[in-house]
Amino acid sequence: MLSYRHAFHAGNHADVLKHTIQLALLDYLKQKDKPFWIVDTHAGAGGYVLNSDFALKTAEWWDGIARLWSRDDLPPLLANYVDLVKNLHGDDELRYYPGSPWFSLQAARDSEHLRLFELHPTDFPLLAQNICDPRVRSEQKDGFAGLKAVLPPPPRRALVLIDPPYEDKKDYQRVVNSLQDALKRFANGVYAVWYPCLQRFDARDLPEQLKQLPVKSWLRAELHVQSPASDGFGMHGSGMFILNPPWTLAQQLADILPYLVQHLGQDSGARFVLEQQSA
């Protein structure tokens, strides 16, 4: 199944959470002089035009990045994220939104290398066009298989981003299975998994399965922007589950999640979840 296109959802509340956490993880890894790899299993097109037919069909970015665009009271972590998006623009009009590979490339030092995987036959050529740099190697390949091929990375340090579309319900189990294998190959990597908050059992059970993986520390952060729909359909929020997270991340997220609930929340059901297990 390859019907999913992230252009429909670019810049929405889920992207705000995902990319803010991604940048925090990259900043932490850069505190050491040693280089690291950035592996992105579902890299998408690398960048999106918000006034395109795809983006305008749902216009989800209006309830995401657009709500933060002109604010002057952003906490530092969010301000850094919004400033990077503004770097794509020559004026104050929000027209473009970058994907996770672009954020990685902007944050990476010259010593870092990116390994990007994207299977979609339309998005992969766009990825190769949008993310062009000597530090980047992109492959049109299933991201779960690609991850298996690159671990352990030569520098023995890495941030692994796992962000499947979950349009196939098998993706939930594939995430768990891939991480089980990855931890055997590279136990000390930082793994960041994005997942949707849905009423379906597979989505609600995924964080519980991730908690059972053989790691000493993990962190779970969810942003719910509205109450679940009465008919059980639709995404009411999203989450990030990080294996081997920085010890500083929990406090950083405790500082911004209430702000995101306040400014991205759509009804009285808006809330956040933040829990962790420390080594």
Q: Which tens digits make up the pLDDT trace of 185-199?
A: 999 999 999 999 999
Determine which one of 40, 63, 123, 163 is catalytic: 163
The token pair that represents 159 in the structure block: 């941030």
Write down all domains in the chain, each with its CATH number in brackets.
6-215+222-277 (3.40.50.150)
Q: Is 136 helix (H, G, I), strand (E, B) or coil?
A: strand
Cis peptide before 152 (omega within 30 of 0): yes
Is residue 1 over pLDDT 50?
no
pLDDT value at position 54? 67
Determine what percent of the chain is predicted with pLDDT higher than 90. Answer: 88
Q: How many angstroms separate the CA atoms of 274 and 279, rounded? A: 17
Band of pLDDT at residue 53, cut at 50, 70 and 90: confident
| pLDDT score of 2 more than 60 | no
- What does the block give as tokens for 129? 């066009």
Contact between 43 and 162 under an 8 Å Cβ cutoff? The reply is no
- pTM here is 0.96
Residue 123, helix vs strand vs coil: helix
Write out the two tokens for 131.
């993310």
Could you give the C-alpha distances from 205 to 23, 90, 174, 176, 245, in angstroms and in order?
27, 43, 13, 11, 21
Active-site residue flag, 163: yes
Q: Is the pLDDT of residue 169 over 60?
A: yes
Q: Tell me the pLDDT tens digit for each residue of 78-107.
A: 999 999 999 998 888 999 999 999 999 999
> What's the rounded mean pLDDT across residues 111-132?
95
pLDDT at 267 over 70: yes
Instruction: Please tell me the predicted confidence (pLDDT) of residue 233.
Output: 78
Structure tokens at 76: 């530092």
Instruction: Give the pLDDT score at 91.
Output: 80
- Contact between 61 and 163 under an 8 Å Cβ cutoff? The reply is no
